[in-house]
Amino acid sequence: MKYDYSRQFSGGLKSAAFVAAALLFLYSGHDQPNQLEQVLQRGDLTMLTRNGASTYYLGPEGATGPEVELVREFTEYLGIELQIKAAAAFNQLSGLLDRRRGEMIAANLTRTTDRELVFNFGPDYQETSIVVIYRRGQARPRTVGDLVSLKIMVIAGSSYEEALEAARKDHPGLEWESRSDVGMEELLLAVSDGAVDVTLADSNIFNLNGHFYPRVATAFSFPGTLPLAWAFRAGPDDSLVREARIFLREFKRSGRLAALHEAFYSSRTRMDRVGMFQFMRQVRKRLPPLITVFQEVAQAHNMDWRLLAAIGYQESHWDPDASSFTGVRGVMMLTRRTAAQLGVDNRLDPRQSIEGGARYFVDLHRRIPSRIAEPDRTWLALAAYNMGMGHVEDVRVLTQKQGGNPDSWTDVKQRLDLLSQEKWHRQTRYGYARGFEAKQYVSNIQSYYETLVWMDTREHPLLVAKL
């Protein structure tokens, strides 16, 4: 799926009174404008965050992630631009805020009692709990007491450290290692590989990433839940916080917050959701009226129609009316920006959508270095279709650094997971990416393509339309 983050949020949230107030301060002669006035005067707001699946990463269409999209909604409500600054480590965020490198922290930050002494928190927008993650096949810890003598690793400066510190009052033998040079995905991998016994994670983060690490599971949860909130500089100036409260209250009421979380956290949006049974059902139900279109468009672009159809199935299950919260629509789930670039004015028209998807893929295929032979060239182009050409180039560089062949899909595929690991993605130009999703995306399309080839070469009765 390619994401479109053109906002559809109602401009009605920005009341006439708010606009009038904004104009008033411009002519009020204030010597020291408050935080809200400063960002309105400047025309942008900088969010401080971390590179990761639940916060910020670069997708095919640019910066995205649950935190990015929520703050983007806020800045569009204010009528200003969003700027993003990613910290190299979680425990650097507070210092960046104090040094005024940004106006707010939006980094899956839990609001705790200790942090309330340091930050001016905005309203809660999500709840999470702290879960203990262990490796399947090992003895499952069921209480905090079972963690004593285990090798524990957590992110430095996180709420996980606070939870362990509190637990150590009743369990003096509890020890752990705090690391500032790793991200959550890397810790999950460490548990999966047996390098550490357990780690701690927010439940929402684990729900987002856990299914990509089948060897790990939740052991138990710490008691209670913790709210997630934006953090602003401490002090009497709460002008931005007040505006955030107004925005989030209406954003929740409208259902848009729930839709945003659904778009990123729901398992229904994940690439591994489809089985072959469902695929064959849609071959019978949805493909027949589209076969001729796939064939004609593919022929016009010198493509294999079965590959084009496989991409269309992965994107939308061949549903011409498909849409998502993020604004992608149609058989090929084109974004507004991509559709505009390709001259597609009606994404819900199957022929226009399939034509746009074909041209988008052909362009990516052309940009893959000419020395790369098939089928590697196609698989790399498909990975770029999913996560962007920049990330494909990043993983090819990593592959070469590790002694692999950057022109081999087999070698590159083995390194795609590295793009979600702190140790590796900080070495790349474009940073964090859900490489494991791109790997699954290409694998799915390969399966659908092979099935369509098998059916087509045997003149399967379901594939009745021919040029």
- Residue positions annotated with a catalytic role: 315
Query: What contacts 24+ positions apart, CB below 8 Å, involve 332-335?
Result: 332/356, 332/357, 332/360, 333/1, 333/2, 334/2, 334/4, 334/360, 335/2, 335/3, 335/4, 335/6, 335/61
Q: Which of 11, 456, 412, 424 is nearest to 247 (CA)?
A: 11
Tell me phi and psi for residue 221, to 5 degrees.
-110, 145
CB atoms within 10 A of CB 146: 17
Q: Which of 372, 248, 327, 241 is nearest to 61 (CA)?
A: 327
DSSP string, 241-261: HHHHHHHHHHHHHTTHHHHHH
d(Cα 218, Cα 128) in Å, to the nearest integer?
14
The token pair that represents 40 in the structure block: 């309105």
Which residue has 């879960």 as its token pair? 131
Spell out the residues 6+ positions from residue 340 whose beta carbon is closer than 8 angstroms to its own: none
Contact 361, 370 (CB under 8 A): no
Contact 294, 305 (CB under 8 A): yes
Q: Which of 370, 457, 328, 391 is nearest to 5 (CA)?
A: 328
